[in-house]
Amino acid sequence: MTAAARVRANELGITSVGHGAGATLRFLAATVQARNVVEIGTGTGVSGLWLLRGMQPDGILTSIDIEGEHLRLAREAFLEAGVRPNRTRLITGRALDVLPRLADRGYDIVLVDGATDEYSLCLEQSKRLLRRGGVVAFCSALGEDKVADPHQRDQRTIDIRAVVNAVRDDEDLVPVLLPLSGGLLAATLR
């Protein structure tokens, strides 16, 4: 189901979630019986397809991407997979401009797979958006295996390390860091 979307991602140089992370996202969506999910960083629709497969049949995926072409390709992937158009809401824009317009406590999952320099601010917005028991997840949380090495000081690694530490230290969150697809950091909101 995700093969064509994955090929398009590779052609554009977009890193999409691997099968292990995708299956985990599907599992999380099913576990929390997700009806409303926000995805930051649409890519070509690979992670969206995984989430939709785990969501309730009437669930709606809201996906935000700054690139209109990515959203077009994701829409194509969703249609190819037989996803009804009323199950997706695709929004072109910067996540930090769109998220404040979304409803407090109105979402079951927030997946963050956008610009790593916005991860910490996306965490703050996610906590506002999630219902109790909802899940926030961050892709690429191992930062190419640099996050655990304190000698790595490039900005991307510093940004990812900051959100990993913030999630770990937040008393309102129960986290897990899985070594899938470059690291999948997930946490449930107490």
pLDDT one-digit tens code per residue, 138-169: 999 999 899 999 999 999 999 999 999 999 99
- The yes-or-no verdict on residue 123 having pLDDT over 90 is yes
Poorest-confidence range of 6-10, 29-33, 87-91, 110-114?
A: 6-10
User: In this prediction, what percent of the chain has a pLDDT beyond 70?
Assistant: 99
Domain 3-189 in CATH 3.40.50.150? The answer is: yes
- The yes-or-no verdict on residue 10 having pLDDT over 90 is no
The residue to which tokens 């997946």 are assigned: 111
**132 — pLDDT class (breaks 50, 70, 90):** very high
Query: Residues 76-100, buried b or exposed e (16+ Cβ, 10 A)?
Result: ebbeebebeeeebebbeeebbebbe
User: In this prediction, what percent of the chain has a pLDDT beyond 90?
Assistant: 89
Instruction: Summarize the confidence of residues 93-118 as an average pLDDT.
Output: 97
- The yes-or-no verdict on residue 1 having pLDDT over 80 is no
Residue ranges of the domains in the chain? 3-189
Bridge partners for 46 per DSSP:
none
Q: Which of 71, 47, 52 is nearest to 181 (CA)?
A: 47
**7 — pLDDT class (breaks 50, 70, 90):** confident
- Strand 130-139 versus strand 184-189 pairing type: antiparallel
Side-chain half-sphere CA neighbours of 179 within 13 A: 4
- The yes-or-no verdict on residue 111 having pLDDT over 80 is yes
CB < 8 Å & 24+ apart, contacts of 158-162:
159/116, 159/117, 159/119, 159/120, 160/116, 160/119, 162/119, 162/120
Task: Write out pLDDT tens, residues 16-53.
Answer: 888 999 999 999 999 999 999 999 999 999 999 999 99
Q: Which of 81, 163, 78 is nearest to 118 (CA)?
A: 163
Side-chain half-sphere CA neighbours of 94 within 13 A: 8
